[in-house]
């Protein structure tokens, strides 16, 4: 499989993970916040890996959003996500799946995770589906606020 094919597949998987998380958020009561946060972490991870594949860079086997951001943004800032947000999302990779590492997760955490997964998917999509004749470009966006509570009111992922 070529890197471009891997990029498209990674994006498709990440998009499906985000769609599943959003569906759970919108339909399931009580909210399975751990599962929503985990799926959003996976979608965010796949978004970044999508861009790494597209740029034909090495794709590490890691769940660390911070490490993946360092790899993808090495030369040009392709994915805009603050380190604090990246650290929070990374915690959802492990701390939501194992009882001995369980963390308290609130609805606001799930809403934060949904917003960040959508943000990174949108950025990856702009790069992945840019004209094949063009080189990928830095997706210029305003830096998102570091606090999830200041961006959107709860209930608006």
Predicted confidence (pLDDT) per residue in 2-33, tens digit: 999 999 999 999 999 999 999 999 999 999 99
Predicted confidence (pLDDT) per residue in 98-139, tens digit: 666 667 888 999 999 999 999 999 999 999 988 454 555 554
- Residue 76's domain is classified under what CATH number? 1.20.120.330
Answer yes or no: is 95 within a domain: yes
Answer yes or no: is 64 within a domain: yes
Residue 31 and residue 107 in contact, taking contact as beta carbons nearer than 8 Å: yes
Answer yes or no: is 102 within a domain: yes
Answer yes or no: is 7 within a domain: yes
Answer yes or no: is 156 within a domain: no
Domain holding 121, by residue range, is 3-151
Structural domains of the chain, count: 1
Which residue from 45, 46, 42, 38 is spatially nearest to 11, judged by alpha carbons? 46
Amino acid 94: pLDDT: 77
- CA dist 103 and 144 (Å) reads 25
- CA dist 42 and 153 (Å) reads 24
- CA dist 149 and 145 (Å) reads 9
Answer yes or no: is 157 within a domain: no
Answer yes or no: is 93 within a domain: yes
């Amino acid at each position: 499989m070529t890197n471009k094919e891997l990029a498209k597949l990674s994006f498709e998987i990440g998009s499906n993970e985000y769609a599943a998380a959003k569906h759970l958020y919108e339909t399931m009561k009580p909210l399975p916040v751990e599962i929503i946060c985990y799926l959003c972490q996976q979608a965010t991870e796949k978004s970044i890996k999508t861009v790494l594949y597209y740029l034909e860079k090495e794709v590490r086997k890691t769940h660390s959003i911070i490490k993946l951001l360092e790899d993808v943004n090495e030369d040009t800032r392709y994915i805009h996500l603050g380190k604090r947000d990246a650290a929070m999302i990374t915690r959802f990779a492990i701390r939501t799946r194992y009882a001995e590492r369980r963390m308290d997760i609130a609805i606001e955490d799930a809403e934060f995770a949904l917003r960040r997964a959508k943000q990174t998917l949108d950025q990856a999509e702009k790069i992945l589906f840019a004209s094949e004749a063009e080189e990928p470009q830095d997706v210029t966006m305003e830096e998102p606020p570091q606090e999830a509570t200041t961006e959107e009111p709860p209930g608006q992922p």
